[in-house]
Amino acid sequence: MCIDLHTHSIYSDGSSTPAELIELAAHNGLKGLALTDHDTVEGVTELMRLGEQAGLTVLSGVEISTTLRQYTLHILGYGIDPANPLLHQWLKPLQEGRVRRNEIILEKLQGLGVAITAEEIQQISSCGQTGRPHIARLLMEKRVVDSFDAAFRQYLGRNKPAWEGRFSYSAAETIDMIHRMGGLAVLAHPGQLDQEMRAQSLLIRELVLRGLDGLELFYPTHTRKMTKKFKAIVAEHKLLVTGGSDFHGMTRPTHRLAGRAHGFCPPCSLLEPLLARLNGRQP
């Protein structure tokens, strides 16, 4: 059986509700699931309640964009308390940074002659955290671009005409907060950091010194060469292993939810070490 510990919902940049995620997970025969929306835990409690009713093992989660030197890293936090006021207070600057960035991106697009409004973006987003993927979807709907990737290549990607940065915590600050919440910090899709695999060893070593708990070994775009390299790094640093599809639904249709029928199946054997570590960490 498979698990999927990296998914997104309507509360960030996914297109599925928590209920739809649970339904799809059951249909795909998954044993375990985690909702890891960007900078928010708004849908986690609902997913955990529905998952328990469906007989799934569900982990609470969140995905945070962080910085380490010149790199942008994504850290997954598992087993955190979604109701903790301190967590919500810590997430607030990230959420406010997203709002301000969206405003500037909108201004830049309008300056480039793209007819786009804040109201149209909000209709695409509907709820939760609005981000560049929602803007990309709107650009597709308005036929400004012909694909999601083209929106980033032409307008929204780093150093493109409508690019704008936003506030982020350092990787060390993020790992520390996840630990303060009783959770585990895992580096998401490490293969994306450097396709040539030259930077990962040093970066992961630095992250381990800052308390990193695990590595997302199973990821749809990881090649065999990458996976072999990451297995060696996991063994060297005695890291936990996780896996997830990075499912966004219609927002990123190439990343389908895990399941044997789809050829991407992080094994359910990964759950036991994660749960054991969480049980030892949490009060």
Cα separation of 79 and 97, whole Å? 25
DSSP labels, the chain: -EEEEEE--TTTT-S--HHHHHHHHHHTTEEEEEE--BT--TTHHHHHHHHHHTT-EEE-EEEEEEEETTEEEEEEEES--TT-HHHHHHHHHHHHHHHHHHHHHHHHHHHTT----HHHHHHHH-SS---HHHHHHHHHHTTSSSSHHHHIIIIISTTSTT------EEHHHHHHHHHHTT-EEEE--GGGS-TTSSSHHHHHHHHHHTT--EEEEE-TT--HHHHHHHHHHHHHHT-EEEE---B-GGGSTTSPPPBGGGTB--BGGGHHHHHHHHHHH--
Residue 65 is predicted with a pLDDT of 95
Reading the chain (283 residues) residue by residue, the pLDDT tens digits are 899 999 999 999 888 999 999 999 999 999 999 999 999 999 999 999 999 999 999 999 999 999 999 899 999 999 999 999 999 999 999 999 989 988 999 999 999 999 888 888 888 777 777 888 889 888 988 899 998 889 999 999 989 999 998 999 999 999 999 999 999 999 999 999 999 999 999 999 999 999 999 999 999 999 999 999 999 999 999 999 999 999 998 777 778 999 988 889 999 999 999 999 998 865 4
Which top CATH class is 92-156? Answer: mainly alpha
Tokens 């054997």 appear where?
Answer: 269
pLDDT confidence of residue 63: 98
CATH 3.20.20.140 location in the chain: 2-90+167-281
- What pLDDT is stored for residue 160 in this prediction? 94
Q: What's the N-to-C CA distance of the chain in angstroms? A: 30
Which CATH code fits 2-90+167-281? 3.20.20.140
Distance CA 200, CA 107 (A): 36
Strand partners, 169: 66
* Other Cβ atoms closer than 10 A to 236: 12
Q: Position of tokens 């969140």?
A: 62
- Which two tokens mark 106? 């909108």
Residues of the chain with CATH 1.10.150: 92-156
Q: Which residue has the tokens 């799934």?
A: 56
- pLDDT for 260 equals 87
Question: Residue 244 has what pLDDT?
Answer: 98
